[in-house]
């Protein structure tokens, strides 16, 4: 397997030891090939999946011209400048059309969704109509074609309404059903294997020994991955031991399209992992100009992409959201725009920031007197996972930016938009 270093080293501004966030994201993107496999699933099961075919209506939706309101279908040419008295010759309901033709001087009572009776072209809402014996009196001021929904107005037969690469949400499920389609082709789910590395890690359910910490990264990762709708392969905790790590990487890359690990990429540990990686595939070790999350590995083992995230719990989340999420969605075959929106809001307090790196401070977006502002959570250390739990957004402080004064606009990414 080769090609990753070749691909990224020709990118502008590629410097593995001081890589800007945007360059790192571009380098990853340049190396990815989306998965190809597809499967057919019933419409309901396609929720959250990536469409793999054109959806082309074979019918117009709506299939007939119909009424948008409860009222009377009339011939516009019958209407006089003043009031017009028409004879009611029948009625039409949704699903029960009027059979017959409406002649001059006639009208039909109809309900919302009812097919427009032949001969009529305009609907007058019932609220403005007056009954006079067996006549229906239409007031002046009606407009031709008012309150009519036309066949094909929503979807037109023959032209694709959904394209491959679109993530199917509730609206798309309804739209597909409105065409009478019961099954759709979607991309197969991306398979993602993950494990934590570290001699100090204890698994939930065991007692902590001296110097140990519970492995929380695998839970955070599970949550972030589950929200992306990928197939998960949890390979547990792996000791900092070459033989065990090799086994884990081999197993993971054989089963998964992408492998995510945490820990083991910081300077003190990188050498030994690096050697192992070099043996198994092609892996790049980066120092990214960001905080938190400076060290990160990216590469390929066999046909599987590897994302070696830092061990610090907050750094895991930040690097996942800034790099891995985008990569996994791209690998999944998405072609719609899934970039995380950046909103601009004033900072309610000064923020410390050093120019020359991108910072992702944990923020709380809050409302003060009708205006949205952002402040930081307390402790910003990259090991303080509590800061992620207290936060509802990242405050993204751009590479060149220095310290921020209170009242300055800053960019935020809502955590709830990251799913
Ligand atoms: P590392 O990147 O392996 O040097 O780890 C950096 C820091 O993150 C250390 O304090 C580790 O104890 C902590 N850490 C590493 N992996 C995990 C994990 N899976 N869960 C919680 N903390 C971790
Ligand atoms: Mg470690």
For ligand 1, atom 15, name the residue with the nearest CA: 311
The alpha carbon of 247 and the centre of ligand 1 are apart by a number of angstroms equal to: 21
Minimum-distance ligand to the CA of 240?
Answer: 2
- The CATH number of residue 180's host domain is 3.90.105.10
How much is the pLDDT for 1? 42
Is 337 within a domain?
no
Neighbouring CB atoms inside 10 A of 309's CB total: 28
215 lines ligand 1 (CB under 6 A): yes
Tell me which H or E stretch contains 219.
helix 217-228
The alpha carbon of 2 and the centre of ligand 1 are apart by a number of angstroms equal to: 30
Let me know whether 293 and 209 are in one domain.
Answer: yes
How much is the pLDDT for 85? 98
DSSP secondary-structure letter at 395?
E
The alpha carbon of 64 and the centre of ligand 1 are apart by a number of angstroms equal to: 63
For a mutational test of ligand 1's pocket, the pick from 263, 287, 320, 381, i.e. the residue with the most ligand atoms closer than 8 A to its C-beta, is 263
Among 331, 351, 379, which residue terminates a domain?
Answer: 331
Let me know whether 119 and 239 are in one domain.
Answer: no
Let me know whether 255 and 378 are in one domain.
Answer: no
**How large is the C-alpha radius of gyration of the chain?**
30
261 lines ligand 1 (CB under 6 A): no
For ligand 1, atom 6, name the residue with the nearest CA: 311
Q: Which atom of ligand 1 is nearest to the CA of 295?
A: 2
For a mutational test of ligand 1's pocket, the pick from 198, 235, 382, i.e. the residue with the most ligand atoms closer than 8 A to its C-beta, is 198
Each residue's pLDDT expressed in tens, for the chain with a length of 419 residues = 458 999 999 899 899 999 999 999 999 999 999 999 999 999 999 999 999 999 999 999 999 999 999 999 999 999 999 999 999 999 999 999 999 999 999 999 999 999 999 999 999 999 999 999 989 999 999 999 999 999 999 999 999 999 999 999 999 999 999 999 999 999 999 999 999 999 999 999 999 999 999 999 999 999 999 999 999 999 999 999 999 999 999 999 999 999 999 998 887 776 777 778 778 999 999 999 999 989 999 999 999 999 999 999 999 999 999 999 999 999 999 999 999 999 999 999 999 999 999 999 999 999 999 999 999 998 888 888 999 999 999 999 999 999 999 999 999 999 988 76
How much is the pLDDT for 279? 87
How much is the pLDDT for 2? 52
262 lines ligand 1 (CB under 6 A): yes
* DSSP state letters, 132-153: ETTEEEEPS---TTTTEEPTTS
Let me know whether 165 and 236 are in one domain.
Answer: no
Neighbouring CB atoms inside 10 A of 159's CB total: 10
H helices of 141-237, where? 170-178, 217-228
Let me know whether 25 and 140 are in one domain.
Answer: no
How much is the pLDDT for 3? 87
Domain span holding position 137: 66-149
Let me know whether 42 and 181 are in one domain.
Answer: yes
pTM: 0.90
267 lines ligand 1 (CB under 6 A): no
The alpha carbon of 217 and the centre of ligand 2 are apart by a number of angstroms equal to: 12
Q: Using CA atoms, how far apart are residues 97 and 114, in angstroms rounded to an integer?
A: 6
Q: Using CA atoms, how far apart are residues 280 and 321, in angstroms rounded to an integer?
A: 26
Let me know whether 316 and 377 are in one domain.
Answer: no
Is 206 within a domain?
yes
For ligand 1, atom 7, name the residue with the nearest CA: 312
Neighbouring CB atoms inside 10 A of 6's CB total: 10
Let me know whether 42 and 170 are in one domain.
Answer: yes
For ligand 1, atom 16, name the residue with the nearest CA: 311
Let me know whether 9 and 82 are in one domain.
Answer: no
Q: What is the count of structural domains for the chain?
A: 4
């Amino acid at each position: 397997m080769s090609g990753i270093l070749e691909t990224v080293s020709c990118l502008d501004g590629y410097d593995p030891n001081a890589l800007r966030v945007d360059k790192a994201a571009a380098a990853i993107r340049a190396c990815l090939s989306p998965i190809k496999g597809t499967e057919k699933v019933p419409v309901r099961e396609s929720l959250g999946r990536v469409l793999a075919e054109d959806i082309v209506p074979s019918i117009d939706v709506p299939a007939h011209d119909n009424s948008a309101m409860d009222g009377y279908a009339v011939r516009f040419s019958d209407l006089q400048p003043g009031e017009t008295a028409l004879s009611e010759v029948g009625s039409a309901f949704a699903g029960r059309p009027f059979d017959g033709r409406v002649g001059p001087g006639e009208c039909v009572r109809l309900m919302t969704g009812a097919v427009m009776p032949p001969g009529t072209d305009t609907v007058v809402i019932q609220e403005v109509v007056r009954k006079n014996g067996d006549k229906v009196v239409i007031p002046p001021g009606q407009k031709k074609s008012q309150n009519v929904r036309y066949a094909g107005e929503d979807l037109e037969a023959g032209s694709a309404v959904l394209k491959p690469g679109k993530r199917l949400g509730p609206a798309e499920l309804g739209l597909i059903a409105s065409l009478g389609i019961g099954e759709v082709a979607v991309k197969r789910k991306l398979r993602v294997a993950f494990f934590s590395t570290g001699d100090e890690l204890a698994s939930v359910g065991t007692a902590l020994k001296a110097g140990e910490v519970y492995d929380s990264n695998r839970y955070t990762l599970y949550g972030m991955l589950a929200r992306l709708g990928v197939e998960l392969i949890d390979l547990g905790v792996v000791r900092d031991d070459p033989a065990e790590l090799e086994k884990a990487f081999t197993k993971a890359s054989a089963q998964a399209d992408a492998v995510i690990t945490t820990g083991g990429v910081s300077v003190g540990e990188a050498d030994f992992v690096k050697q192992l990686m070099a043996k198994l595939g092609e892996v790049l070790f980066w120092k990214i100009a960001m905080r938190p999350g400076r060290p990160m590995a990216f590469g390929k083992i066999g046909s599987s992409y590897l994302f070696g995230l830092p061990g610090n719990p907050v750094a895991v989340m930040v690097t996942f959201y800034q790099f891995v999420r985008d990569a996994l969605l791209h690998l999944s075959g998405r072609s719609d725009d899934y970039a995380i929106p950046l909103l601009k809001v004033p900072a309610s307090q000064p923020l410390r920031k050093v120019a020359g790196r991108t910072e992702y401070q944990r923020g709380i977006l809050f409302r003060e007197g009708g205006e949205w502002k952002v402040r930081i959570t307390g402790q910003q250390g990259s090991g303080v996972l509590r800061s992620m739990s207290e936060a509802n957004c990242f405050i993204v402080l751009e590479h060149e930016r220095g310290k921020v004064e209170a009242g300055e606009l800053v960019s935020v990414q809502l955590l709830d938009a990251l799913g």
